[in-house]
Chain A
Amino acid sequence: MRAFISQHCGRMVFLVGLAGGLAAGWLLFPQLLYSRQAQPMDFNHALHTDDGGMTCEECHPFRDDGSFSGIPTIDVCADCHSDPLGESAAEAVLIAAYIEPAQEVPWFVYARQPQNVYFSHAAHVRLADITCDRCHGFQGTSTTLQPGETNRISTYSRHIWGPRISGGGSQVWDAMKMSDCSACHAQRGVQDSCLMCHK
């Protein structure tokens, strides 16, 4: 055994180093790269859509001018939650911390694109008939909110790059990089000049 170790010592040391490098790159690096940020309160989409029978458009409507309202303001929440609906911890936080003082909930927006990107929900949803889950996955039927993860260097949400550190994920909505936008545009034969998104 000792002879074997002595004979292959150099290779083993190299392999140990290789394994260490791989572990650092694939396992440790992602942990260090992203900071995690808990959502200010939990939210159950499924409770609203399944039990409450609500549609996406009731809280995320298009305005009269065609623009997309995005995340609902606290006024929209207050329409139903002016009085507590249930006794969950999230309900208590919603009433006490946001509805009563009329404060907006500082949600972490998983899909937020960087500022140099212009994205029109109206063009994609209304004109191209793309459904919400094409880009947002099963968010609309989720029962809880995952913590937000922010790239410490680029400051982008991890959802832009994708859950895999190598990029993307197992689902088509897992990543929202420029190459993902271009690929979808190419697939659909839609023009994708620079100024389409970078106005």
Chain B
Amino acid sequence: MAKLEAKNIVKYFDHDGQPLKALGGINLTVDEGDFICLVGPSGCGKSTFLRIVAGLQKPEEGQILLDGRPIINTGPDRILVFQEGALFPWLKVQDNVEFGLKIAGIPDSERHEISKRYLEMMDLTKFANSYTYQLSTGMRQRVAIARALVMDPEVLLMDEPFAALDAQTRDTLLVEMQMIWQKTKKTIIFVTHSVSEATVLGNKIAVFTHRPSTIKKIFSIENKRPRLSEDETLMKYQQEILAELRPEVKSKGDGE
């Protein structure tokens, strides 16, 4: 059943004072437990769409429905993992992970118990008392994922979280991300510019057109997990997706 629905989302960017139509009416249905990856040419507004789902930006037209109810604001039922993690450098790893729980007023002992569980799950227990600058980029993204999971969101939103990682770290996290999804059964919307990443992670892949963007096509991949980047069975999908993307990348005339 539909967990989250985007209905005709339209969003304009401000481009040197001129309104530029970025999202030209996005319609998307995400089912409960879906792991859906959004791919598209750069600048097509897929990250903006994710922020609109998170309630951090407002669309000019259209609405987002969560369990059938329109979302009005940002809220802990839709937690976003940022590209650069956006961890707080003034807090230790554990306090970063517990931030949302503390805001929600969860008592200390319960909070520590929850964070302990997720720190273990993300293999971060040793680093609970470190500050974020002491961690590698990969470790920081693990903390960011743990910080999002403790909130137990209805929908987990991820904005190119692995874009800044080296290939090896990314491969490890791609496998872990699939395990997390299978374990928590979360509904996940994952924005990426990497088609191979999308085919590894997603059970659905939505391809955005060039702006003003709409959703061009949705692919389903039912291959068994854990999938790896080098899986040959994924090649077929990657080629099909790239074939859809290629004209979109070419059609952009503004050399971004």
User: Do A and B belong to a common assembly?
Assistant: no
Residues of chain B at the chain A interface (Cβ within 8 Å): none
